[in-house]
C-alpha cells in the first residue's frame, strides 16, 4: 500500500495505519532532525511531535499530495516551532563544541573516521537553512524537485543554494582540518 | 575561467552531471590550473564524506513512545463526549430540555419560513407596481401617458393611506415580532408624513414587545420625533418595562432634548 493510501486511511479514521507510516519514515525523519538540531535526544522528541501532528492534523493532508513532501513539511514546522521558543537570538549557529557529545555516542565516535568528525563540526558552522538543504539533498538524497516542493520554492533556487552551501561547507571543513 | 563558474561546474562535475563539452572544459582547467585542482580535490572529499555518512539510529524509546502515543490518540477518538449528570433526575431533565428545545427550534424555523414567504409575496406585488410604473414612463408611450406614469410615480413617493393603515395594524397587532419589525421598518420609510410620525409615537403606548419597543425608540430618535419625549419618559418610569427598554428610552430622551 502506498504512503498516500495509508495516509488517506488515517484521514478517514483508521489511526492504526499511522503505525505503518511510522515504520517507513521514523528513521528518515529522525536523521533529518538529528542532523539539523545536532542533538539526538531532542531529535527523538521532535520526531514524536511530527507523528503526533500527522495524527492530529490528518484532516489537513490533501488527498493525492505526495506524502513524503508533506511529512517533511510537518518536520520542518516542528523544528521551526521548537526554535521559535528556544532560539538563541544572537545566532542560529550550533555550539560546535557540544556537537560531538550530543550527536554521536562514544561507540559511534570511535568507528567514525576523522573525516566524518570534521564534517559534522563543519555542518554545525553552517546556517540552519544551508544545513537543512545539505541534509535533504546530500544526506537523504532527495531530488531537487521534491526539496523545492517541501521548501515551497523553485528548483533553480534550490540548485543555487545547495551549491553555495557545499562551497561554504568546504571552507569550514578545510579551515578545521588545518587545526 | 572565473572562480565562481569553476566552483559551480566542479560540483556538477563530481556529481557526473556535466555534458561532454563541459566535462572537457573542466578537465582542461584542472590540468592547467593548480588552484583549480586543489579546489576539486577538496570538494570531492567533502562531497564523498557526505555521501558515505552513517545513518543515525534512534533509540528503542522512540518506537515505544510512539506506540503509546498512538494508543492514546486512538482511545481519545473512540470515547464519545458524554455529558454525565448525576443523579438520574438531572439526566431526565436534560433529555426533556433537549426535546423541547428541538421542538421549539422547529417551530421558529417554520414561522420564519412562513414570514419569508409573506415577504416574498409582498415583494412580488411591489415589483409589479413598480414595473407598471416604469412601463408607463417608457419613452415608447405618448407624452400624455408618460405624464400619467410620472404622476403615479410621484404618488408612490407619498404613501397610500391604505398601505399605511395596513402597516400600522401589522406593527401594533401582529402576533409575530418579526412581522411587527418589518412593518415598523416600512412605515419608518414614510416618516416624513405627519400621519406616520403620529402613528409611530402612538405605537409606543401600545407596544409591549421589548424588541419592537427598542427598535421603535431608535427610529423615533433617528427621525427626531420630539413628540415622543413624553411617551419615552413614561416608559422610563413604567415598572412593567424591561431594563433594556428603559435604558433605550432614557438615551432617547437625552438625544431628542
Q: Does the model's pTM come out above 0.90?
A: no
Residue B227 has a pLDDT of 86
pLDDT at B153: 42
State the Cα–Cα distance between residues B41 and A88, nearest whole angstrom.
Answer: 36
Alpha-carbon distance A91 to A127, whole Å? 9
- Count of CB pairs separated by less than 8 Å, A with B: 88
A24, burial (CB in 10 Å: exposed 0-12, middle 13-18, buried 19+):
middle
| Per-residue confidence band for B150, with pLDDT thresholds at 50, 70 and 90 | very low
Reported as a pLDDT band with limits 50, 70 and 90, residue B86 is low
Residues in contact with B142: Cβ distance below 8 Å, sequence separation at least 6, in sequence order: none
The whole-angstrom separation of Cα A134 and Cα A165 is 7
CA distance B8 to chain A (A): 7
- The phi, psi pair for A153, rounded to 5°, reads -150, -170
Which residues touch B182 (CB under 8 Å, ≥6 apart)? B115, B119, B170
Q: Using one digit for the tens of pLDDT, what is the confidence trace for A127-178? A: 999 999 999 999 999 999 999 999 999 999 999 999 999 999 999 999 977 7
Residue of chain A minimizing CA distance to B67: A19
In this prediction, does ipTM exceed 0.90?
Answer: no
Tell me what the pLDDT averaged over chain A comes to: 88
CB–CB of A48 and B8 under 8 A? no
CB contact under 8 A, A169 and B46: yes
Residues B209, B229 contacting (CB under 8 angstroms): no
Question: What is the residue-averaged pLDDT of chain B?
Answer: 80
Query: Who among A103, A112, A170 is closest to B43 (CB)?
Result: A170
B53, B57, B67, B77: which to substitute to probe chain A, counting the most A Cβ within 10 Å?
Answer: B53
Cell numbers 432614557 correspond to what residue? B250
**Contact in structure between B217 and B256 (CB atoms under 8 Å):** no
Per-residue pLDDT tens digits for B18-62 = 999 999 999 999 999 999 999 999 999 999 999 988 889 999 999
CA distances B144 to B134, B139, B141, B148, Å, are: 14, 11, 8, 6
Q: Which residues on chain A are in Cβ contact (under 8 Å) with B61?
A: 44
Please, which pLDDT band fits residue A89 given cuts at 50, 70 and 90? very low
- Is the minimum CB–CB distance between A161 and chain B shorter than 8 Å? no
State how far the alpha carbon of B62 is from the alpha carbons of B34, B56, B58, in Å.
Answer: 50, 13, 7
pLDDT (tens digit per residue) in B184-202: 887 887 888 888 888 888 8
Q: Is the peptide bond before B87 cis (omega within 30 degrees of 0)?
A: yes
Contact residues for B158 (Cβ-Cβ < 8 A; gap 6+): B190, B193
Residue of B nearest to A45 (CA): B62
A87 to chain B, closest Cα gap in Å = 24
The 3-state DSSP class for residue B42 equals helix
pLDDT digits (tens, 9 = 90+) for B170-184: 788 877 777 788 788
Looking at the structure, give the CATH architecture of the domain made up of residues A90-179.
Orthogonal Bundle (1.10)
CATH of A1-87, one of 3.40.50.10190, 1.10.1740.10, 3.40.50.300, 2.40.128.260: 1.10.1740.10
Task: Mark out chain B residues that contact chain A at CB-CB < 8 A.
Answer: 7-8, 11, 39, 42-43, 45-47, 49-51, 53-59, 61-63, 65-67, 69-70, 73-74, 77
Burial of residue B174, with CB atoms counted within 10 A of its CB: 0-12 exposed, 13-18 middle, 19 or more buried: middle
Q: In this complex, do A173 and B45 lie within 8 Å of one another by their Cβ atoms? A: yes
Look at residues B170, B160, B42 and name the one whose alpha carbon lies nearest to residue A119: B42
In chain A, domain spans = 1-87, 90-179
Considering only CB atoms, which chain A residues are within 8 Å of B56?
A: 30-31, 34-35, 40, 103
* A144 has a chain B CB within 8 A of its CB: no
Contact residues on chain B for A174, CB-CB shorter than 8 A: 42
Amino acid at each position: 500500500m502506498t504512503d498516500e493510501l495509508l495516509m488517506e486511511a488515517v484521514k478517514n479514521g483508521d489511526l492504526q495505519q499511522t503505525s505503518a507510516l511510522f515504520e517507513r519514515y521514523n528513521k528518515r525523519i529522525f536523521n533529518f532532525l538529528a542532523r539539523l538540531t545536532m542533538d539526538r535526544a531532542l531529535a527523538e522528541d521532535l520526531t514524536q511531535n511530527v507523528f503526533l501532528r500527522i495524527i492530529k492534523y490528518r484532516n489537513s493532508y490533501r488527498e493525492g499530495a505526495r506524502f513524503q513532501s508533506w511529512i517533511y513539511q510537518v518536520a520542518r514546522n516542528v523544528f521551526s516551532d521548537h526554535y521559535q521558543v528556544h532560539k538563541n537570538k544572537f545566532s542560529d549557529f550550533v555550539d560546535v563544541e557540544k556537537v560531538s557529545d550530543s550527536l554521536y555516542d562514544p561507540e559511534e565516535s570511535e568507528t567514525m573516521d576523522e573525516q566524518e568528525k570534521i564534517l559534522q563540526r563543519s555542518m554545525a558552522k553552517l546556517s540552519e537553512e544551508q544545513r537543512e538543504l545539505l541534509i535533504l539533498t546530500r544526506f537523504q538524497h532527495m531530488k531537487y524537485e521534491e526539496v523545492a516542493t517541501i521548501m515551497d520554492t523553485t528548483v533553480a533556487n534550490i540548485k543555487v543554494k545547495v551549491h553555495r552551501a557545499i562551497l561554504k561547507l568546504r571552507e569550514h571543513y578545510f579551515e578545521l582540518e588545518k587545526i | 575561467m572565473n572562480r565562481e563558474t569553476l566552483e559551480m561546474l566542479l560540483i556538477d562535475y563530481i556529481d557526473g552531471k556535466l555534458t561532454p563539452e563541459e566535462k572537457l572544459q573542466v578537465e582542461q582547467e584542472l590540468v592547467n590550473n593548480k588552484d583549480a585542482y586543489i579546489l576539486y580535490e577538496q570538494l570531492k572529499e567533502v562531497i564523498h564524506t557526505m555521501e558515505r555518512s552513517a545513518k543515525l539510529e534512534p533509540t528503542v524509546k522512540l518506537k515505544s513512545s510512539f506506540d503509546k502515543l498512538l494508543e492514546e490518540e486512538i482511545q481519545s477518538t473512540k470515547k464519545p463526549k458524554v455529558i454525565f449528570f448525576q443523579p438520574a433526575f438531572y439526566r431526565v431533565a436534560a433529555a426533556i430540555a433537549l426535546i423541547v428545545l428541538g421542538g421549539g427550534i422547529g417551530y421558529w424555523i417554520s414561522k420564519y419560513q412562513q414570514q419569508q414567504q409573506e415577504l416574498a409575496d409582498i415583494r412580488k406585488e411591489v415589483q409589479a407596481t413598480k414595473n407598471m410604473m416604469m412601463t408607463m414612463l417608457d419613452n415608447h408611450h405618448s407624452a400624455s401617458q408618460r405624464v400619467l406614469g410620472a404622476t403615479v410615480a410621484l404618488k408612490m413617493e407619498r404613501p397610500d393611506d391604505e398601505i399605511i393603515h395596513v402597516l400600522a395594524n401589522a406593527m401594533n397587532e401582529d402576533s409575530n415580532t418579526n412581522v411587527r419589525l418589518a412593518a415598523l421598518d416600512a412605515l419608518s420609510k414614510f416618516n416624513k408624513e405627519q400621519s406616520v410620525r403620529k402613528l409611530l409615537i402612538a405605537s409606543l403606548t401600545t407596544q409591549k414587545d421589548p424588541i419592537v419597543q427598542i427598535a421603535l425608540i431608535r427610529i423615533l430618535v433617528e427621525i427626531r420625533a420630539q413628540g415622543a419625549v413624553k411617551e419615552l419618559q413614561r416608559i422610563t418610569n413604567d415598572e412593567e418595562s424591561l431594563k433594556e427598554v428603559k435604558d433605550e428610552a432614557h438615551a432617547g430622551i437625552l438625544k431628542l432634548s
